[in-house]
Copies of this chain bind each other. A is one copy, B any other.
Amino acid sequence: MVAEIISVGTELLLGQIVDTNAAYLGRTLAGLGVDLYYKSTVGDNEGRVLDTLSRARSRADLILTSGGLGPTEDDLTKECIAQVFGEDLVLHEPSLEELEAFFARRGVPMPPRNRKQALIYRHGRPIPNPNGTAPGALLEKDGVITISLPGPPNELIPMVENHVAPFLTERLSGTRQFLVTRVLRFIGIGESALEQEVLDLLHGTNPTLAPLAHTGEVHLRMGAKAASVEEAETLLAPLEEEIRRRAGRYLYGTNSTLLEDAVVTLLRERGLTAATAEGCTGGLLGGRLTQSDPAENVVLGGFVTPGPAALTGILGLSPELIDRHGIVSGPVAEAMADAARRRAGADIGVAITGQAGPDGGGARGLVLVGLAQSDRTTHSEHHCIGIRDTVRRRATQLALQQLREALLDV
């Protein structure tokens, strides 16, 4: 099966939105073993949408579209698909009822123009969308499957997971080559150093191994094709084992595992708790850790201390210490970590203080990470390049890396 992705929306061409849907759909198709040769983006223009759809129809077995299912006149996707495939759009009563119920739950009447969203191909069917007003639409005609999804990722992703992926899996079973990929995620080792470690493994054809550039960490992607998932996984296993043997200390997780997930898991395994204190990051580290710890078991609490008033008032640091060393200093990073640990009653305190720089290009940031355990308090210093946002993100990454390394040595 050969697929093609079409993203519809002038805002995508203008660059006002980055098309994360296309990447997500690409990963999904790769996981299903469906070949994807082309992705196209086209604006809300009837002629150009028709042109793009016609070409896709001529060279693909599966067309996935995102966007253009809204209630406005600009939303043309279903109308264009109907035209290209010679289909009629007819009112789908259950979809209309769901739409009306959607608005009723919000206590507002449905605007008349939203009725358009309940139009579905006469020989197709809707795909339920519990998170928005636009149902998806599926049409199978002339040997081509066309699946249309709405643009907002929080609507599109659940629809793919709950409907599209199961539908395609069923459709593909028995005939396909299964491609299994696994991403190995490393922290604390540079891209070149890691590539040097695995240089001789980068030339295989099945399984394959390829480095993936990623800001602040390094990823390797393994891939294997076989007649079954199990067979493909059997091809991957010895490769992964060899990589773990060579660089296992830096390997924190696989696939979609986040560094914060790995750190929270390590804390849990070690039976330890943590607390945070954040200057320039203002809570982003706490935000990442609590995303991975919804049960509130290991991240006990944290402090946002953007300036000297908070450092003395909230964390109880001495004004003399701050005067003597400055906010962005090793002693203050260590004192922050220790105060966070004590005040939250946690085993480990981790602190960030830094100069994240202005919100312009090419700036340099200085980040200090403090780490306090019951028997020892340390800090490390890091120079980061980038705009304020990048430096702040990088600072949370460095703090998680330091915390991970401390936990590995516990």
Are A48 and B52 in contact (CB-based, < 8 A)? Answer: no
Are B108 and A361 in contact (CB-based, < 8 A)? Answer: no
Assess whether A176 is interfacial by the CB under 8 Å rule. no
- Interface residues in A280-317 (C-beta closer than 8 Å to B): 280-291, 293-294, 296, 299-307, 309-310, 313-314
| Given the contacts A41-B22, A283-B282, A362-B158, A300 and B290 also touching, CB distance less than 8 Å | no
Shortest distance from the beta carbon of A263 to any chain B beta carbon, whole Å: 14
Assess whether A248 is interfacial by the CB under 8 Å rule. no
Are A385 and B15 in contact (CB-based, < 8 A)? Answer: no
Assess whether A326 is interfacial by the CB under 8 Å rule. no
Are B313 and A192 in contact (CB-based, < 8 A)? Answer: no
Are A301 and B314 in contact (CB-based, < 8 A)? Answer: yes
- Assembled-state Cα–Cα distance A212/B45 (Å): 16
Query: Copy number in this complex?
Result: 2
> Smallest CB-CB separation from A109: which chain B residue?
B192
Assess whether A271 is interfacial by the CB under 8 Å rule. no
User: Looking at chain A's contact residues, is the secondary structure mostly helix, strand, loop, or mixed?
Assistant: mixed
Are A72 and B392 in contact (CB-based, < 8 A)? Answer: no
| Given the contacts A37-B45, A48-B38, A306-B293, A344 and B313 also touching, CB distance less than 8 Å | yes
Are B291 and A389 in contact (CB-based, < 8 A)? Answer: yes
> Smallest CB-CB separation from A210: which chain B residue?
B74
Q: List B contacts of A154 (CB < 8 A).
A: 215, 386-387, 390
Type the 1/0 row for A17-50, where 1 means its CB is closer than 8 Å to any CB of B. 1111011111110100000111111110100100
Can you spell out 25 A-B residue pairs with CB atoms less than 8 angstroms apart? A11-B212, A12-B23, A14-B26, A15-B25, A15-B28, A16-B27, A16-B212, A17-B213, A19-B19, A38-B48, A39-B40, A39-B41, A70-B213, A72-B202, A108-B192, A152-B213, A152-B215, A154-B387, A157-B361, A281-B290, A282-B287, A282-B289, A283-B283, A283-B285, A302-B303
Q: List 14 extra interface pairs beyond A12-B26, A18-B19, CB under 8 A.
A: A15-B27, A16-B23, A38-B40, A38-B48, A40-B41, A152-B215, A157-B361, A282-B287, A282-B288, A301-B313, A302-B304, A303-B303, A309-B345, A314-B344
